[in-house]
Every structure is written in structure tokens, then in C-alpha cells.
Amino acid sequence: MRPILLQGHERSLTQIKYNRDGDLLFSCSKDHVINVWYTHNGERLGTYDGHNGTVWTVDVDSESRFMISGAADNELRLWNVATGKCLYTWEFPTAVKRVAFSEDDKQVVCITEQRMGYQCAIRVFNINRAGDGNKQSKEPAHMFNPVGSKATVCAFTAQPGVIFTGHESGKVALFNLKTGEEVHSNERAHGDVVTDLQMSEDRTYCITSSKDKSARIHDTKTLDVIKTFTTETPLNSAALSPNKPYVLLGGGQEAMSVTTTSLRQGKFETRFWHKVFEEEVGRVKGHFGPINTIAVHPKGLSYASGGEDGFVRVHNFDDSYFKSQPYGDLQIED
Amino acid sequence: RPKTSWADDVDELVSGQEEDDSVRTVIEYSVNEQGKKVKITRKIKRTLQKSVVQHQVAERQKWAKFGAEKGSARGPDRATTTVGEHVYLTLSAGGNKVRPNETEQQEEKKPVKSATGGKVVCRLCQGEHFTAKCPYKDTLGGLETSDTGAGPDDDTAPPVDAAPGLGSTGSKYVPPSLRGAGRGAGESMRGPGGGNRDDLPTLRVTNISEDTQENDLRELFGHFGRVARVYVGRDRDTGAGKGFAFVSFEDRAVAQKAMEKVNGKGYDNLILSVQWSREYPIILKLSFLIIKTEPRADPK
């Protein structure tokens, strides 16, 4: 396959996200810029300008109407997707590391960094979708400080009012938003900081990646570890494929040997593992630096990866990918 | 006058483009890593792709560009959007015996190589080495290099997971000897109801002279019983005998007798060596003893 190279960022990518219909891809980077691209041809639709620091995270609602972003300038911003206009800005004492929309688009959750006397905080805001969207409440609907290790990633689960979090220590936990209490936790889910969290379509399970060189799939209700994928490099991102039994893992810090071939194409790889058999099934090269973020099209038709090199590479799978069955025909009979 | 190539004729490295029908040809000249002039010809064909999308997706395609793209024309801007080089994703079972530092060319060959599973099996002793490197080459080797066209690349084991006979999408090649179907009655030549020449009791005769022909051996061994087939190993180019032959009989007992009688005998100034060509199952012959008793008359 021939990837489409999106060169809209001058510094490393921090997160990329497909919208629900899969026709738009949002990318944010350390260069303070958020870009949105049409996925069918890689054409850039526009940029969202306003942040004054590394944009760590973005998320888009299911209607592709509002986009939310969090940056190192301590701001959480709500944007109009179609026009690029910033609708509302929330300010905090510390940087915003992760944002996520709820499934009904009515709430967003965000994590603010622990720094200089401020504890790590998780806030949930109700989003007023009426009108332009620029009338939002300044105060959060819920706010709490998770005890113990600071949270690095979070997302809403299938259970109302419960969010799933990943922490610096490798812990994963479930928090009740109303009470702010940690409902359940798995302290030893990972051995090192949890770097990414992506939910399944129905939010009943999720995948986490960690610097402990592994990725794991967890049940979002019981926190049972369903699958573990162990690699030899710290992982920065993990994604689930909706239509094929694969998970995509990406990371960095490979021990690279000197190569005499030209570096027209980078050697950092996105790795495909079988979701059930926990075995690596393939790799795709291309990035010139560690892969920081991976996203899969909601219908599994393509995937995109964002790297430390500032490139986003969008790969449309070809027929052989859809037809191949490396473990044979394992269809469940009806 | 020394031969000139097109590359030497070009003094100016002029890149150009031309359009012809829907195919645009872009020619670029550059210098590659080895310092050689390289002509890159790209033929770009533009085809119209129609796809059906949801209403809101179609609406979004009409949005005006904003931010840094404000005022830009429709369509991707080459400054931000380009097409990369081919990347390959070959999906195969088996986990981490994955090759970390490969060049692009190796990656291109990979889909071909991995079809056999990559396992090396010696034809002689079934060890994990190439037949040519087999430590038992002398004892088991024998006639491996006869002109059957075998080579080192035949040492890979047949694919483990390929169902015999499957030729459909993505399946690996299955050699005829492993295919399941098609061995029904009468499928093979000769023999009553279909016999296979591999089932015939066959002797391997070695140390025969160069001039010994099929007919000579047929005559020699035909003395013991019916000879089904004779094959004399020959040099592919010269046709001279290679010093060995295979003689197949219809009856195993006949073959056995022939082996015992001919082995060690002289023929055309050479002492012949005769052995079974492969391991044959031993057939036990049971003899029945009949004991008769007669009443003994008392001599007194």
C-alpha cells in the first residue's frame, strides 16, 4: 500500500483521532497546531489556532460538530469543527494532558498535570450543545484528585458515570464521577507509565500501552486483564481494529543497526498483533522516528500513525489485508 | 568508438512533464546514492472514483477551508500532502521470529520466501540443515545428485498448515507428492487397477560400467523373473552412464533372489553391488509343519 504523508506539523505528533464517520482525521502536535484532514485523499481542511503550548490531546464528538483540545498552556479549548473558531476556553493551574468526550457528547473529561503543589486532577464538564456552543459553564460538573499515582490517560466506559484511567505507576482504575472515589483498581496492570488508552466501539473493553514494553486489553467493568502483548520496546500507543482481530502497537527507542540503504523510508514500525493469539503478525515501516500515536478508521478500512518525526502517515489497507487469514479460517459458525 | 549509453548523451538533466490523454508522464533526472545518474519516469493516471457516503460526510466535503488553509483552492496541497513510497504488510502467523533490520529489497522478497514456512529440512536424514551440508552425506547420500533437478532450495519442508490440494487465494504451493486427492484407483499408470512405479520392488545396482545399457540389465536380471522397469543413471550432457541403475521387478521374491545372486558378481570387468533401493517392509513367511503320527506295531 502507498501511505499518504501528511506534513502539517513541524514538531512531533502527540495524538491523532478519527471522527466517528472516519472522513476526518485530527492531529495535534508539540508545535501548538491542531490540523484536520480529509482522510480519503489527505487534503488538509484547516487548522485550529489559539493554543500557546504543546497540544497534548484532542477529541471530537460523534457529530463532528465540536472538538476539544488540551495543551501545555494550561488551557482546555472547545472548537467549532467546521469553521475552526474557538468557542470556549477553560484555564487551569497546570497543563491538560488528556481529554475525551463521553459517548452521548454531553460531557468531556480532562486530566490536568501534577505540578508545583497542584495535584493531578480529573474534571468533568457538561457541554452545552445548544446554539453556537460558546456558552459553557466555567465550573466543572465533577472534580476530584485521584489518590496515589497521577493519572495519565482516561476515557468514559460503557457504564454511566464511570471513567477508566491509566496512571504513571502502571495502575489502571475505575472512578465514579459523582463521588470521585476509586471504585476498582489494578495496581499491577502495567509495570511502567500507561502511555495510551483506546476504547472498543462499545466501550466494554479497552487497550492500554505502556513503557513497560507491553500492551494489554482490559475489561472496563471488572478490570480483568483479557490479553497481553509483550514486545521488546516501550510502547507509546495501541489501537484496536474494529473489523479484523488485530491490535496495532507503536513505540520507539529501537536499537537500530546501521543500514547502508538509503533512508528514503524510515525504519520505525507499527506492529500488528493478533488480538486473540497474542502473536505478532506483521509490521509496517515508514516513520523516521518513534511512533507516538496510532488510530484506526472506525470501519477498519485504514489506519494512521503519527510520529516523533512530525509526519502523519495514513495507510489505506489493500485487498490482501482484508482477505488474509494468517491463522486460517476461524469464523464462528452461526 | 566506445559504446555510449543514453545516460551519457544527456548533458542537461532536464526534468519534464507531458500530458497525453489521462496519463501524465513526469520525467526527473537525479543522482542516486552511488553517484550514478538516474532517470525516474512517473506515469500518473487520473481516474475518477465514485463512492457513496453518508449525507453528513458529503456535506463536510463542501466545507470552506479555515485557519492556515483559509482561501486555499480545492484539493490537496502538495506542501502538506504527498504520497509515500510503497510499504508492505505481510501478515503471517507465528509471532516473534520477526526480522528486525531488513532492507526494502528483502522485504519485497519476503512474501515469496515465507510461502514455504522457512524451515530447512535435509532430504537424507530430515535434520535441520541443507541436504548438501548433511553430515551423513556419504552413507545416506548415495545418488542424491542424480539429474532429478533437485537443488538446495528444495530442502525447505512443505508448508505445515497448507491443506493438500488447496490452490486458492493465498495458499502455499503443495508439491504433488503431498496432495491428498487424486490417488484413486486407476489414477496412476501401469499395473493392475493402477499401480505406482514407486510400489514396485526395486533394486539399486551400483558400480556398473559406463557402457552398460538398459537392455543389458534387463537381460541380466530378466533371468530371475519379470523386470518391470530399468533406469540407468546418465550424465545429462554426455549421456554416459553414471555408474548406477535402478531395476524394478513385478515380484518381490524375484527381486530378492536377483539381489542375492547378482550382488558381488562380475559384469563387464566390474564387481556389481546390488541393494534394495529403499527400506522395504519385511514380510514374514509362515510355514506350517504337519506332524503325522502312526500307531507303532509292537515288535514283540
Structural domains of chain A, with CATH: 4-323 (2.130.10.10)
Least confident of B48-62, B64-78, B223-237: B48-62
Task: Give the model confidence (pLDDT) of A217-237 as tens digits.
Answer: 999 999 999 999 999 889 999
The contacts of residue A229 (CB under 8 Å, 6+ apart) are: A214, A215, A216, A238, A247, A249, A273, A278
The type of residue at B215 is N
Residue B111 and residue B88 in contact, taking contact as beta carbons nearer than 8 Å: yes
**Chain B residues near any Cβ of chain A (below 8 Å):** 33, 51, 53-54, 56-57, 60-61, 63, 65-70, 75-77, 79-96, 98, 100-101, 103-104, 107, 161, 169-170
Question: What does the pLDDT read at residue B122?
Answer: 80
* A176's grid cell: 465514579
What is the DSSP code string of A282-297? Answer: EEEEEBSS-EEEEEE-
- With bands split at pLDDT 50, 70 and 90, how would you rate the model's confidence at B171? low
Coil, helix or strand at residue B44: strand
CA distances from B224 to A146, B250, B255 (A): 95, 11, 8
Rounded to the nearest integer, the mean pLDDT of chain B is 74
The 3-state secondary structure of B144-192, one letter per residue = CCCCCCCCHHHCECCCCCCCCCCCCCCCCCCCHHHCCCCCCCCCCCCCC
Query: Could you tell me which of A183, A291, A176 has the C-alpha nearest to residue A237?
Result: A291
Cα angle: A245, vertex A249, A253; to 5 degrees: 160
Question: What does the pLDDT read at residue A94?
Answer: 95
A 234-273: CB under 8 A from B: 254, 256-257, 259, 261-262, 264-265, 267, 272
Least confident of A164-168, A258-262, B79-83, B271-275: A258-262
Contact criterion met (CB < 8 Å) for B80 and A313: no
Sort strands B273-276 and B270-271 into parallel, antiparallel or unpaired: unpaired
Contact criterion met (CB < 8 Å) for B84 and A284: no
Residue B109 clears pLDDT 60, i.e. is over it: no
pLDDT (average), residues A163-178: 95
Q: Which residues pair with A64 in a beta bridge?
A: none
Buried b (16+ CB within 10 A) or exposed e, B124-157: bbeeeebbeebeeeeeeeeeeebeeeeeeeebbe
Query: Could you tell me which of B227, B226, B229, B233 has the C-alpha nearest to residue B212?
Result: B233
Question: What does the pLDDT read at residue B115?
Answer: 46
pLDDT (average), residues B57-78: 90
Buried b (16+ CB within 10 A) or exposed e, A184-198: ebbeebbeebbbbbb
A147 touches chain B (CB under 8 A): no
Quick one: chain B helix, strand, coil %, rounded to 5? Answer: 20, 20, 60
Q: How many CB pairs under 8 A join A and B?
A: 139
Question: What does the pLDDT read at residue A260?
Answer: 45
For residue A7, give how far its alpha carbon lies from the nearest alpha carbon of chain B (Å): 5
Tell me the whole-structure pTM to 2 decimals: 0.64
Angle between helices B214-222 and B252-262 (to 10 degrees): 100
Query: Could you tell me which of A3, A2, A5, A13 has the C-alpha nearest to residue A54?
Result: A13
The contacts of residue A319 (CB under 8 Å, 6+ apart) are: none
Question: What does the pLDDT read at residue A264?
Answer: 58
The 3-state secondary structure of A68-109, one letter per residue = EEEECCCEEEEEECCCCCEEEEEECCCCEEEEEECCCCCEEE
Cα angle: A142, vertex A146, A151; to 5 degrees: 105
Question: What does the pLDDT read at residue A182?
Answer: 93
So what's the ipTM on this one?
0.85
More confident residue, A284 or A253: A284
> In chain B, what is the straight-line distance between the N-terminal and C-terminal CA atoms, in Å?
127
